Copies of this chain bind each other. A is one copy, B any other.
Amino acid sequence: MSPANSFGSTFVITLIGESHGRLVGVVLDGVPAGYAIDLESINKEMDRRKPGQSKVTTIRAEEDRVECLSGIFNGKTTGAPVTLVTWNKDADSSAYEKFKNLPRPGHADYTAMLRYGGFQDYRGSGRFSGRLTAGLVMAGAFASQVFRAVLPVTIGAHAREIAGIKHEGNVDVMKLRERVEQNPVRCYDAAIAKKMEEAIEKAQKDKDSVGGIVECIISGLPGGLGEPFFNSIESQLAHIVLSIGAVKGIEFGAGFGAARLHGSEDNDPYVVDKDGTITTTSNNAGGILGGITTGAPIVFRVAIKPTSSIGKKQKTVDMATKKPADLEYEGRHDPCIVPRAVPVVEAVSAIVVLDILLAAGVVPRIKR
């Protein structure tokens, strides 16, 4: 394992900052030299993650511009650590003072107290705020620029399900980005997106929240990548995906559904093309066998729980008095974070992809 706030073996990221502190950001180590980095492309990804994009996401206006504080010179990586940050605007932390002793059910308020003895920065949920994922988005957008300079890998995520409303159709990973940006819930299918949106609005009116499932596809990776036994591709993706606050599960390929198939159904038969390329006629494996890429797209789905911060009255305990208390939480929170989780899941996938491609020598240490 890397230290607590770091992830990766060759390309290593360290998340810094707090929701209402000076900044949120990320430090990138193991960066290869000579890769052109366009900060505006990173900012575009930041825009996709930011709140206030529509009525179904929180209305707090974050104007997050990414600054690079180290590691880039004349527009290219130098090989030194890259520090990417966005400065926090003056935030109103008074709501957090008010609810400081009333841990939100389903949130990390209570466990953070246990873990850090009450010394954690609780303003805006501190380290446990969804705002921390901004650092992941920066890192992912950076990583994509690096590996795409070498290999045309495409990563696309979308809302497979929100509030129980499922999109079960096929998706074309090449069209994913364009399609999901056409509706606020980031569903591939416009009609289903509409229903998802209505379900979110309904929950919002009830001062409640809903969850969903994000699916991610990584296309263009060669076969033979991955490090069994313990750094299987699934292990690495699951590790970082399950670090994201609201994620409660992950499945690859046929996933939990594979548990109900026969081997003869689940196994993907091999076929050979005229040019000698070996592929499979199905992809229940989700592009991974024995922890190693097959060359087929990697496909995984992520369970996102409903936002824990809700306005509806809930039972809690006053930590100061140790008495039962009612909590009617105030504050601007997404009634559903699935739409904003889409770019975050893409970002962490990109982080893993660069780590793997650097370790395998596919992305060279110097781009000449």
Contacts and interface: CB of A to CB of B under 8 A. Distances in A.
A311 to B, nearest CB: 10
Contacts of A262: 203, 206, 208-210, 306
A310 B264 contact: yes
A360 B366 contact: no
Contacts of A9: 1
A212 B259 contact: yes
A368 B116 CA distance: 10
A143 interface: no
Contacts of A240: 230, 235
Nearest to A87: B69
A184 interface: no
A115 interface: yes
A346 interface: no
Nearest to A319: B278
A103 B259 CA distance: 22
Interface stretch (A55-63, A150-158, A169-177, A291-299): A291-299
Interface string A232-259: 1011101110110101111111111011
Given A34-B117, A106-B263, 11 more contacts: A1-B236, A14-B29, A78-B126, A111-B288, A111-B292, A209-B264, A228-B243, A234-B248, A248-B255, A267-B310, A271-B317
A141 to B, nearest CB: 18
Interface size class of A (residues with CB under 8 A): 35 or more
Given A213-B259, A263-B306, A108 B227 contact: no
A270 B315 contact: yes
23 contacts: A16-B71, A18-B71, A23-B69, A33-B115, A33-B116, A69-B85, A73-B123, A73-B126, A77-B119, A78-B121, A79-B116, A107-B267, A107-B289, A111-B293, A119-B366, A164-B260, A209-B262, A230-B240, A235-B239, A238-B238, A248-B255, A249-B252, A263-B307
Interface string A306-349: 11111010111100001110000000000000000000000000
Contact of A276 (B70, B108, B322): B322
A266 interface: yes
B254 A248 contact: yes
A127 B78 contact: yes
A29 to B, nearest CB: 4
A219 interface: no
Max chain B C-beta neighbours (<10 A), residue from A247, A288, A306 = A306
Given A208-B264, A234-B242, A243-B230, A108 B290 contact: yes
Nearest to A107: B289
A140 interface: no
